[in-house]
Amino acid sequence: MGLIQLERLGESKDGYLSFFEAARHIPFEIKRIYYIYDVPINAKRGMHAHKRLRQVLWCPYGHMEILLDDGREAVAYTLDTPDKLLLVEGQWRDMYWRQPGSVLCVAASDYYDEEDYVRDYDEFLRLVKEGYWSDER
Ligand code: T46
């Protein structure tokens, strides 16, 4: 879990390029990519955890804050440059849009499955207490 700083190749006169590679930067096989956009400023999304799904988040344009809560403490991460990846594995997540036009991209370890979502915070805390994610975090 946490931020991965990507390389930033280039210089200001003609711009930069960042990249990430399967297996080298991402600790799972990517099966799905999705992106969230046209979100009003200060809107909050997320408010769930995943049972099995692993994800990396990055913001190719804009500024957003991601609050990751493992049931014991919550840590706020800022995605405001395209050269940062945030690895999320099992934590409760809240996402806040801070700049117009911000785009959040997600690469995920599996296909969409609503059964994998925990959308009730009390259920999330119960699963934490049972040690549901203890191997992974
Ligand atoms: C996550 C955060 C970072 C689909 O049908 N297919 C998909 O691949 C996805 C991701 C969502 N959906 C449906 C499910 C809902 O009816 O799209 C609707 C919006 O999803 P949700 O309210 O879960 O969106 P966010 O922005 O709160 O959360 C999303 C992802 O769902 C979630 O996996 O971790 O981004």
Report the SS3 class of residue 24.
Answer: coil
pLDDT in tens, 44-80: 999 999 999 999 999 999 999 999 999 999 999 999 9
| Whole-number Cα distances in Å, 26 to 30, 82, 99, 111, 132 | 8, 16, 27, 17, 22
**Closest Cα to atom 6 of ligand 1:** 112
Cα separation of 109 and 28, whole Å?
Answer: 6
Count the Cβ atoms, other than its own, within 10 Å of residue 15: 8
**27-129 sits in which CATH class?**
mainly beta
pLDDT in tens, 24-50: 899 999 999 999 999 999 899 999 999
Residue 78 dihedral angles phi and psi, to the nearest 5°: -105, 125
Question: Quick check: CB of 45 below 6 Å from ligand 1?
Answer: yes
